[in-house]
Each structure stands twice: as C-alpha cells, then as structure tokens.
Copies of this chain bind each other. A is one copy, B any other.
Amino acid sequence: MSGKRSLIRSGTTVDQMVRAIGDRIVTGVLRPGEKLDEVSLAVRFEVSRTPVREALGQLSAMGLVERRPNRGAIVAVVTQEHLTAMFESMAELEGICARFCAERMTGSERRALETEHQASARLVRLGAEEDYEYFNTEFHSRLYRGAHSTHIQELTATTRSRLAPFRRAQFRLAGRLAKSWQEHDAIVTAILRGDGAAAGKAARDHVSIVSEASAVFAAGDQPNAASTTSVTSG
C-alpha cells in the first residue's frame, strides 16, 4: 500500500487498531454506546475493513466493545448493575494485590512505593489534579506489580481499563484529592508494616470510595451521540 506506518507505533496493523480504538475508548474520546462503524474507522485510520474488524473482535473479547451480529459494534455500555459489580471486583482485586504486596514486596519495592507516595503529597498541597492523576495511576500499578503475580496483574489491569471510561474526573470532586492520598497512606503503612489483612482492607475501602465517587459521573455520562471527534494522531 501507500507506504508507511505513521499511525500509532509499530506492530501489525491490527495491533495498532486495537490500541488506537482501545485508547479512544479508555480515554473517553469514544464514549459508551457510541456506534463503531467499520468503514468510518477504516477510512479514519486509512486501512481496509479487515484489520478494523479483527480489532473490534479483539476489543469485544476484552469487553471494551459490544458486538451485535449483523448489526455493528458499539462502545460497551454497561448497566449500573454491571458497573457496580466491576467496581466491587476491582476493590477485591486491589485488596488481594495489597495483601500480596504486604507479604511479598521486596525491600526496594517497598522503598520505592513509600518514596513515590510521599513525593505525591506535594501535589495534593498544590491541588495539582492532572499530575496527581498520573501519580495515582503509578501508585496503583506499583500495587499490581508488587503482588508478584502475573495473572492477578492481568485481571486487575483489564478490569481497570474497562472501568476507566467511568472514573474520569473523579478528582474534581471537592476534597477527593486529599482523601485519596490519605487512603493511599493507609495502604502504604499497612504494607510497610507487613500487615496483609490491613493492607487488603485499606485497598478495598479505597476502591469502594472511588466507586461511589465515580458513580456520580457514570449516571449522567452515557450518551449515544454519534459525533466522531476528529483526533490528531501524528
């Protein structure tokens, strides 16, 4: 074809499409319920329908999109019930991770966890939501990795990405930033103490609270709008 792969980075075209579409779902550019037209996407990304179809299939297997036979694909719409179940599962998964962390983290992992956590305190004082968001993600990733279980890590990561569309902007809630840090602090303290049960409980509680915070947004956040925002990929 007309030469090169300037889309998203290397990999096969299908992989690029999975990442491209998946990212747009997770980051909220494509919103739950939005129709995913094969030809539009193909034109949009300058590929044929085949890789788009394969990508949609894989995203469907991952639960990010929903496919109705002969009737097209849409960004996965989850019921309130299912959303609750996902947050609940997320709480349990993070609880397990935290428990494992308390039992298994190496010395350097513990030090890194605490160092980064303490560093993020500054962002709370500054009220830097964007930056804290980044630290928050990193913090949780540390928990997943620290569990030393590749599979738990997988389950947690996929669940997290499926929840991502529904937890945006949670830090805009008044006071959420400071509270989040305090909750993280409880988790870190318990892990450093080696108290698995306490770490697990703290992590579960943390996610549960995030869950409630996010539910507010989820309620008024499920459009069927078909406006395909033009994105500058480059």
**A96 to nearest B CB, angstroms?**
5
**A215 to nearest B CB, angstroms?**
15
Contact for A85 among B12, B81, B149, CB less than 8 A: B149
A50 within 8 A of B: yes
| Residues in B whose Cβ lies below 8 Å from that of A155 | 89, 155, 159
Q: Determine how many copies of this chain the complex contains.
A: 2
Instruction: Kindly state the separation between the CA atoms of A50 and B53 in the bound complex, as whole angstroms.
Output: 10
Residues 69-103 of chain A, each 1 if its beta carbon lies under 8 Å from chain B, else 0:
11000000000011001101100100010000000
Instruction: Kindly state the separation between the CA atoms of A151 and B82 in the bound complex, as whole angstroms.
Output: 7
Q: A57-B58, A60-B58 are in contact. Are A151 and B89 (CB under 8 A)?
A: yes
Pairwise interchain contact A88-B151, C-beta atoms closer than 8 A: yes
Residues of A25-84 at the interface with B, using a CB-CB cut-off of 8 Å, are: 50, 53-54, 57-63, 69-70, 81-82
| Residues in B whose Cβ lies below 8 Å from that of A86 | 151
A131 within 8 A of B: no
Instruction: Kindly state the separation between the CA atoms of A5 and B54 in the bound complex, as whole angstroms.
Output: 22
**A231 to nearest B CB, angstroms?**
23
Instruction: Kindly state the separation between the CA atoms of A53 and B57 in the bound complex, as whole angstroms.
Output: 11
| Residues in B whose Cβ lies below 8 Å from that of A61 | 57-59, 61-62
Pairwise interchain contact A96-B92, C-beta atoms closer than 8 A: yes
Pairwise interchain contact A85-B151, C-beta atoms closer than 8 A: yes
A14 within 8 A of B: yes
A130 within 8 A of B: no
Instruction: Kindly state the separation between the CA atoms of A92 and B155 in the bound complex, as whole angstroms.
Output: 12
**A36 to nearest B CB, angstroms?**
15
| Residues in B whose Cβ lies below 8 Å from that of A62 | 61
Pull 13 A–B residue pairs with CB atoms less than 8 Å apart, ordered by A: A11-B69, A14-B57, A15-B69, A50-B50, A58-B58, A58-B60, A59-B61, A61-B61, A82-B151, A85-B151, A89-B149, A89-B152, A155-B155
